[in-house]
Amino acid sequence: MCNTVAVTRARWTTETTPLPPHALEWLSQRVGLGEPLPEVPVTAPPSALSADAFEALEAVSAVSVEDADRLGRSGGLSYLDLLRHRGHGALAVPDAVVQPASPAEVLEVLQVCVEHDIAVVPFGGGTSVVGGVEALRGPKSAVVALDLAGLGSLVSVDPVSRVAVLQAGVTGPEAEKLLGEHGFTLGHVPQSFERATIGGFAATRSAGQASAGYGRFEDMVESVRVATPVGEWVVGGAPASAAGPDLKQLVLGSEGAFGVITEVSVRVRPRPYGPRYEGFVVDGWEAGVALVRTLAQDGVLADITRLSDVEETEVALELAGPRAATLKKYLRFRRVAQPCLVILGWECRSREATMSSLSGHKVVRLGRAMGASWLHGRFNGPRQRDALLDAGVCVETLETATHWSRVSEMWAAVRDALVAELGDAVVMCHISHAYETGASLYFTVLVPRDLSDPVGQWERAKVAASEVVSRLGTITHHHAVGRDHLPWLEREIGSIGVGVLRAVKDRVDPTGILNPGKLVQGRLGSAGGRLGASPGTPGHIREY
């Protein structure tokens, strides 16, 4: 049997940070707080896994049909997921949780699932915010969550080449601890770092906060070991290769639809000596965009480069507590009419090069205290979501990327779409990652929850924003496609692109057991179909 793990989907759980009273007061004045949501108890429906299938799975791996285990792997951590775990919206509960302990066991589990016609949802940290781990059964007889937590080792380190092999279930903090013992770092710190896993990073082409210095996750990967229903596939293995198209990139971003990543070989770097983080302010969004573009195009971005718009800066200053008034006074004294906060952090790149390029721009330096404050609170967003939900606030994020020439158009269009749908909402935005040709925009929305229809309130806003985003840039810069972005995928990659994904899927997963309804629908049986086992509460069944 699996052990029940401390995964309660309705809460971030590792560490929940309460909202400071002044933040709550500001929020209630700015948009108002919603009514507390009535608690609706969530129960797991009976498992649809047959006794034969259970026995066959138990013969090769740890397996559990306990309610707590199944509820703990029911969906990811989007706002809608959190609502579902509070009893609002249809919860997809897997029929069983399978927890293999080795790559060989993963292969055996897949064989059993093919034989018994069971859908398999690979489950890493379960931090997906796009429905990537939703337990959709499709036309299969049952659906299992394949929890990779048992693959938690550092397999090898090659200090000469600076390459390490990590198993898929290793979390962000565990990877840093294991590599740190050898004097190395991966340098991959997304905001979901505390819970997300190596396999999840690879499966979603994740981007960490210091991506300008260390690269996106796919830039770090040397090779990937993947279990598929038709056998094991090892892709990559040299620092560079011209042996045809880079098939490694087919696995990276495959979201569990082409196979289960069991091991990832990654480039590592020596741990940074004396990292430094600083805060700056520019006057107005356009000035900030021009500044970040210059740094990117001059090749002197800091490892961490973030530009907040006026609204996000206002919130950051409000949350600074007693220091806020002094800071605002200082910015008025420096004649900054529309403060936009810039956070720069250096871990492996040259600070001097960035600072020299900055000298051509009008910036107000806030110094290392502001940088330290950002570093200290870098994971507060996820930790405070629970407190915001408790306070009756709808809180969600969305992200995209576009070329520099369209950044401001995108910024305005997404804001307008969200405000048109949600009314008087706080819509904050920052540039989270920058490239020579463009940047990613990351939006955070806060609005009082609509008590009569909390799910529909966000679903409609997300559709409105996705329509805009898919017209002006990519549907996702780092959150992946999952189920939520699937309706807009063809618009981005074209019908030939969708056909290519389908052909790969049919080759590696001919019976369509892998992650139905996510990223791609194969020839056979991988349409999203019904939810996992029928939800216990009447009216909670969604058909797709």
Ligand X SMILES: Cc1cc2nc3c(=O)[nH]c(=O)nc-3n(C[C@H](O)[C@H](O)[C@H](O)COP(=O)(O)OP(=O)(O)OC[C@H]3O[C@@H](n4cnc5c(N)ncnc54)[C@H](O)[C@@H]3O)c2cc1C
| CA 375 distance to own-chain centroid | 19
Residue 430 CB, nearest approach to ligand X (Å): 12
Q: Which of residues 364-393 bind ligand X (CB under 6 A)?
A: 381-382
Residue 255 CB, nearest approach to ligand X (Å): 4
Q: How far apart are CA 476 and CA 400, in angstroms?
A: 5
Structure tokens that stand for 103 in this block: 């790559």
Residue 278 CB, nearest approach to ligand X (Å): 21
Q: Which helix (H) or strand (E) holds 395?
A: strand 393-403
**Residue 498 identity (one-letter amino acid):** V
Residue 451 CB, nearest approach to ligand X (Å): 24
Residue nearest to ligand X according to CB distances in the complex? 200
Positions of E strands within 218-354? 221-228, 231-236, 260-267, 269-270, 276-283, 304-308, 339-346
Q: Are 148 and 123 in contact (CB under 8 A)?
A: yes
Residue 224 CB, nearest approach to ligand X (Å): 9
Residue 518 CB, nearest approach to ligand X (Å): 5
* 104: alpha, beta or left? (left if phi > 0; alpha if psi -120 to 50): alpha
Please give the torsion angle defined by the CA atoms of residues 76, 81, 85 and 88, in that order, rounded to the nearest 10 degrees: -160
Binding-residue pattern over the window 504 to 533 for ligand X, x denoting contact by CB under 6 A: -----------x--x---------------
Length of the chain: 544
Q: CA nearest 381: which of 312, 461, 302?
A: 312
Q: Which of residues 45-84 bind ligand X (CB under 6 A)?
A: 76-77
Q: How far apart are CA 25 and CA 63, in angstroms?
A: 47
Stretch that binds ligand X, among 36-44, 51-59, 117-125, 326-334 (CB under 6 A): 117-125
Which CB atom, from 26 or from 201, has the smaller least distance to ligand X?
201
Antiparallel, parallel or unpaired: β 339-346 and 276-283: antiparallel
Residue 531 CB, nearest approach to ligand X (Å): 16
- Which one of residues 206, 384, 440, 466 is an interface residue with ligand X (CB under 6 A)? 206
Binding-residue pattern over the window 328 to 367 for ligand X, x denoting contact by CB under 6 A: ----------------------------------------
Q: Which of residues 437-496 bind ligand X (CB under 6 A)?
A: 478-480, 482
Residue 155, helix vs strand vs coil:
strand
Q: How far apart are CA 225 and CA 168, in angstroms?
A: 9
Angle of helix 351-358 versus helix 285-297 axis, rounded to 10: 130
Q: CA nearest 533: which of 136, 126, 257, 256?
A: 136
Antiparallel, parallel or unpaired: β 96-99 and 142-147: parallel
**Residue 323 identity (one-letter amino acid):** R
Q: Are 204 and 425 in contact (CB under 8 A)?
A: no
Q: How many chain residues are in contact with ligand X, going by CB under 6 A?
A: 39
Q: How far apart are CA 228 and CA 76, in angstroms?
A: 23
Stretch that binds ligand X, among 137-145, 196-204, 240-248, 294-302 (CB under 6 A): 196-204
- Which one of residues 113, 135, 143, 203 is an interface residue with ligand X (CB under 6 A)? 203
- Which one of residues 64, 204, 440, 444 is an interface residue with ligand X (CB under 6 A)? 204
Stretch that binds ligand X, among 202-210, 309-317, 328-336, 368-376 (CB under 6 A): 202-210
User: What is the 3-state composition of the chain as percent helix, strand, coil, each rounded to the nearest 5?
Assistant: 35, 20, 40
Antiparallel, parallel or unpaired: β 530-531 and 136-138: antiparallel
**Residue 366 identity (one-letter amino acid):** L
Which CB atom, from 155 or from 287, has the smaller least distance to ligand X?
155
Which CB atom, from 281 or from 402, has the smaller least distance to ligand X?
402
- Which one of residues 27, 82, 142, 261 is an interface residue with ligand X (CB under 6 A)? 261
Which CB atom, from 140 or from 283, has the smaller least distance to ligand X?
140
- Which one of residues 47, 185, 197, 526 is an interface residue with ligand X (CB under 6 A)? 197
Which CB atom, from 127 or from 354, has the smaller least distance to ligand X?
127
Which CB atom, from 132 or from 454, has the smaller least distance to ligand X?
132
Which CB atom, from 317 or from 395, has the smaller least distance to ligand X?
395
Q: Are 474 and 96 in contact (CB under 8 A)?
A: no
Q: Which of residues 120-139 bind ligand X (CB under 6 A)?
A: 121-129, 132-133
Work out the number of other CB atoms within 10 angstroms of the CB of residue 314.
Answer: 21
Q: CA nearest 418: which of 367, 463, 354?
A: 463
Q: Residue 7, interface with ligand X (CB under 6 A)?
A: no
Stretch that binds ligand X, among 40-48, 188-196, 285-293, 365-373 (CB under 6 A): 188-196
Residue 299 CB, nearest approach to ligand X (Å): 23
Residue 522 CB, nearest approach to ligand X (Å): 15
Binding-residue pattern over the window 137 to 176 for ligand X, x denoting contact by CB under 6 A: -----------x-------------------x--------
Q: Which helix (H) or strand (E) holds 57?
A: helix 51-58
Q: Residue 201, interface with ligand X (CB under 6 A)?
A: yes
Which CB atom, from 44 or from 166, has the smaller least distance to ligand X?
166
Which CB atom, from 34 or from 75, has the smaller least distance to ligand X?
75
Which CB atom, from 126 or from 339, has the smaller least distance to ligand X?
126
Task: Please list, residue by residue across 365-397, b when 16 or more beta carbons sit within 10 angstroms of its beta carbon and e when fewer do.
Answer: ebeeebbebbeeebbebbbbbbbbbebbbbbbb
**What residues line the site for ligand X (CB under 6 A)?**
76-77, 121-129, 132-133, 148, 168, 190-192, 196-197, 199-201, 203-204, 206-207, 255-256, 260-261, 381-382, 478-480, 482, 515, 518
